[in-house]
């Protein structure tokens, strides 16, 4: 019985804290454009924002494009009539730090490195397809080493699995990961030279 009472007290305190946090958001520096929305569109803005927050949940690492697709799919009657309102909602979520496209971009970089390494251009295209804004793509791609360095690290991780009798297959494998023919040739040549010296 004491455990149930203790749990209920902790839950009550947590709910009170969350309530206080929600009340404090509008007072934090006027980044939200909701006050600029006409009374006529306030209800639509509220519905869009609520749906976006439900989709985001606790994962801030969503992109502008991902949230926009969800709003267009789930609330077409509002979003098709006023796409500017959709953009405004998403921009407000970014300003209020509910969305972090840099986090989304860095996750893509991490997911496609190491044993899953891809070229810089390949990763850029993945970010674009994910709906990350061009400015964020431009910034995050700068964090990736040049293609020769990433391909060389990839070679060191994967070369034990490569078939020495079929270097053409390795070239195609690197090309499928977005590496240019020139870089693929250099990496394969370095691999063959290393094998020959052992």
pTM of the model: 0.72
**For residue 197, what pLDDT band results from cuts at 50, 70 and 90?**
confident
**For residue 60, what pLDDT band results from cuts at 50, 70 and 90?**
confident
The pLDDT of residue 50 is above 90: yes
pLDDT tens digit sequence for 2-49: 555 666 676 676 667 556 655 554 444 445 555 555 666 788 999 999
Q: 127: closest CA among 41, 61, 50, 83?
A: 61
pLDDT tens digit sequence for 125-154: 999 999 999 999 999 999 999 999 999 999
Please enumerate, as own/partner, the contacts of 121-124 that have beta carbons within 8 Å and a separation of 24 or more: 121/147, 121/178, 122/177, 122/178, 123/178
Q: What is the pLDDT of residue 80?
A: 85
Instruction: Report percent pLDDT > 90 for the chain.
Output: 62
Q: What is the pLDDT of residue 30?
A: 44
Q: What is the pLDDT of residue 27?
A: 45
Quote the mean pLDDT of the chain: 86
DSSP assignments along 12-38, one per residue: HHHHHHHHHHHHHGGGSTT---GGGS-
Specify whether the CB–CB gap between 118 and 112 falls below 8 A: yes
If you average pLDDT over each of 34-38, 80-84, 89-93, which comes out highest?
Answer: 89-93
Let me know how long the chain is.
Answer: 198
């Amino acid at each position: 019985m004491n455990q149930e009472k203790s749990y209920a007290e902790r839950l009550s305190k947590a709910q009170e804290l969350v309530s206080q946090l929600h009340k404090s958001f509008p007072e934090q520096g006027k980044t939200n454009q909701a006050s600029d929305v006409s009374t006529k569109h306030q209800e639509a803005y509220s519905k869009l924002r609520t749906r976006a927050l439900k989709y985001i949940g606790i994962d801030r690492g969503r992109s502008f494009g991902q949230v926009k697709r969800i709003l267009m799919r789930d609330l077409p009657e509002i979003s098709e009539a006023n796409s500017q309102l959709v953009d405004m909602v998403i921009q407000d979520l970014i300003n209020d730090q509910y969305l972090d496209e840099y986090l989304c971009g860095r996750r893509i970089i991490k997911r496609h490195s190491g044993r899953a390494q891809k070229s810089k251009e390949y990763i850029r295209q993945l970010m674009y397809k994910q709906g990350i804004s061009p400015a964020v793509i431009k910034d995050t791609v700068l964090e990736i080493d040049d293609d020769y360095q990433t391909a060389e690290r990839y070679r060191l991780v994967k070369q034990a699995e490569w078939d020495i009798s079929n270097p053409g297959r390795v070239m195609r494998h690197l090309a499928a990961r977005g590496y240019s023919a020139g870089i693929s040739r250099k990496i394969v040549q370095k691999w063959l030279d290393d094998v020959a010296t052992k």
